[in-house]
Structure 1
Amino acid sequence: MIRHAKKTRLIDIAHRLGVSKATVAAVLSAGGSGTVRFSEEIAEKIRRTAREMDYQPNISAKTLAGRASKVIGILIDSHAAIPRFRILEGIEHEATLRGYRCMIGEAHDSLENLRRNYDIFMQHGVDGVVCLSHDYPGMEEEFKRLFSDTLDKVVFIDAPNHPDASYINIDRAASTYQAVRHLHEQGARKIAFVRGQSLWKTTLQHEAGYRRAMEELGYPERELHIITTRKDFIQQREVSEESISRFIEHDVIPEKIDGIIGMNDLVSLAFIKALEAAGKSCPRDVMLVGYDNEKFSRYTAPALTTVDENYELQSKMIVDLLLEKINHPEKEMKGCFATVVPQLIIRESTEKMKQRRFFNENEA
């Protein structure tokens, strides 16, 4: 017969050390109670003994007693873009600074499964939830059906499809607008924007920023260069070199495009390599702006001008918003509570050249 190890209780720790159960509970309840006094020496003995005896707090009992679990849940798509996981990392860091731990629930392209993860969070008594993945094209009504009753516990990054949701906003349209204006100031006159096929809100926001900047610069619709990628353009976070080469052969060279805003830093890096293979170079022939400010972007040749969404600030703002909701449940909190404006990081890939080769009439 299998014997299961007996679970360590507060009273077991108290008996071993010869102190009261109330003292043990005060020390192990994340900071203690103002009514129970103990020395730091006793507190350290209790914490050490709890580790030795493998004590695990009963979160369900804590929540039933009306106390905070000091745990927050995070919902994220398991195939989300890398920057989402950078935000997740930042949230975990910010939560830890405030005495919270994180529980993560992943699903892919399924609001139903994300909702199931939310229900599991609630069964484990989490105090609140951050949702990083909810913008699924064509699933707007499903989102309302599945998440309308969760909004008192959940905060979002980017506006979800519900008027009562609490969220922080990322002004991606402004970032692409900045990129277009910068390329134009540096001398680019035929500026292309590379976008995916999807109808993700983030993609549409970037395109809106591109269109607004080009319109302000006096470009008619027919002179916009919006390059929509094929479905196989990015697979498993790898860029199709064949697709990039095709863009250069059929769009960049014939149209004499001299400025490109890539979908992200990886795509822009692939463009640099493909331009070299086609006998062109960056920034002499084509200037490039990436997105995400990946760590490698400063070490490329040339170093890549890019956009930084300030993931650290996003993480701090979203944790601040969630804790405000947790600590003040009586407040009516809905709508946008903060906006983060991404920053253009200027490097060598948009360096102004004395002579732009695509405007050399001998090559026209």
Structure 2
Amino acid sequence: MPSDKRVTIKDIAEYCGMSKSLVGYILSDSAVRTGSEEARDKVRQAAELLGYQPNRAAKMLVGKSSQIIGVSIDSHSGPAYFRRLSMMEREAKKYGYRLMINENSDRSDELLQSYRTFCEYGVTGVVYLKHDFPLQNEELRGQFAEMKNVVFLGKPIVGDAVYVDVDWGAGTRRAAEYLIKCGRRRVALVVDKLPYYSIETRVDGFREALAATGCREGREAFVFRIDYSNDLDETRRIVRRAIEELLLPNRIDAICMQNDLFAAFLLQELHRRRIRVPEDIAVIGQDNEPFSGLLIPALATIDENLAIQSKYLIELLLALIEKKELPPEQRCRRVVPSLVWRESAGVPAGTKVRDEDNRIEIIAESY
């Protein structure tokens, strides 16, 4: 039975009545000496019963993979990043890998130090979920180019990198086009002030929607840049200022918000002011957080398809580890977000919403 004492190969050998060398070969999946099928089953059952954990450091000393993937995230990351981490862990387990997590702040030197730390621990490869530092990107360009077995979420500043490209702009474009075509006359996108790549592509997508529908930015449509915070009280204050200084003075009747948390605070503050959603203002969030469908009214949102992102990130990294180099056509995988239509966008439950190719995109959820 498992205990606080670390179970060794010697313990398993004594339990099974076998030699240490044979047990070691079986547990390491050695091709040199495999033992009989009966012996292999007996050793593996004993290892599970006793709670044996392989010594990854010892495996590395003999030139074997640590089977550990390093993942670097921002310490200010929102909830969606941690849901993505959970999905990545499940995906990595399918291939016998585990994750080692490193948090860094908005500083390029911490991000580079995380890579060195991962290397010291002998990780097999690294995934960077956050690598965009608008004021420090040039400092990172040369450093990223020297990194080995690295995959990025989102297009990095390194030209020939391996990455998963999330088309954040496509989701915002579809949301804005829908609102405008439904007759909304004063549409706004509210996003972070800092020019992160994910934010700028959303702004680009919004402006593409304006161009496609003939709306003029500054007169019928607006991009509002606001402060961002993970502190709930500060987020509420930011949303209140946005309502009082931006939304009401510009008579906004439809809005795409920074994320679902900001949108939730917006719904609450609009309700306090007796402003009806979606009758007076339609609201669409971002991230499809688990709570979004529980709000009143249920929050329409943009789902970034985290499960697909996680699958692609792990698959790309393992392909890179195996092949050492990937041809240009295999160095990027694209993920397009999906829209989740709910009541806050003015879409009645059961409505069939069609995409730009006139295919049914999704049937609005019940609430």
TM-score by length of 2: 0.85
Matched, 1:226 2:223: yes
| Alpha carbons of structure 1 residues 7 and 277: separation in structure 2 relative to 1, 3 Å | closer
Partner deviation per Cα, 1:46-69 (whole Å, 9 max, x = no partner): 5535874x7553434423433222
Unmatched runs of 5 consecutive residues or more in structure 1: 354-364
Unmatched runs of 5 consecutive residues or more in structure 2: 349-367
Count of residue pairs the alignment pairs up: 344
1:254-333 aligned at under 5 Å gives the runs 254-332=249-327
Cross-structure match for 2:114: 117
Structure 1: 4+ residue segments shifted above 6 A: 5-8
Q: Distance in 1 between matches of 2:38 and 2:72?
A: 38
Q: Distance in 1 between matches of 2:346 and 2:48?
A: 60
Cross-structure match for 1:103: 100
| Alpha carbons of structure 1 residues 274 and 294: separation in structure 2 relative to 1, 3 Å | same
Letter matched to residue 41 of structure 2: A
Q: Distance in 1 between matches of 2:248 and 2:27?
A: 67
Letter matched to residue 139 of structure 2: E
Q: What is the Cα-based RMSD across aligned positions, in Å?
A: 2.7
Percentage identity across aligned positions? 34
The range that moved more, 183-192 or 13-22, is 13-22
Letter matched to residue 103 of structure 1: M
Cross-structure match for 1:68: 65
Q: Distance in 2 between matches of 1:68 and 1:160?
A: 27
1:1-364 aligned at under 5 Å gives the runs 10-11=9-10, 13-15=12-14, 17-29=16-28, 33=31, 35-39=33-37, 42-45=40-43, 48=46, 52=50, 57-150=54-147, 152-223=148-219, 224-229=221-226, 231=227, 234-238=229-233, 240-332=235-327, 336-351=331-346
The structure, 1 or 2, with the larger RCO (C-alpha pairs under 8 Å, 6+ apart) is 1
Q: Distance in 2 between matches of 1:90 and 1:46?
A: 27
Letter matched to residue 46 of structure 2: R
The Cα of 1:10 is off from its aligned counterpart by 3.4
Please say if residues 149 and 324 of structure 2, whose CA atoms lie closer than 8 Å, have aligned partners that are also in contact.
no
Letter matched to residue 163 of structure 2: Y
| Alpha carbons of structure 1 residues 105 and 343: separation in structure 2 relative to 1, 3 Å | same
| Alpha carbons of structure 1 residues 134 and 187: separation in structure 2 relative to 1, 3 Å | same
The range that moved more, 15-24 or 103-112, is 15-24
| Alpha carbons of structure 1 residues 51 and 74: separation in structure 2 relative to 1, 3 Å | farther
TM-score by length of 1: 0.85
- Whichever of the two has the greater Rg, that structure is 1
The Cα of 1:304 is off from its aligned counterpart by 0.7
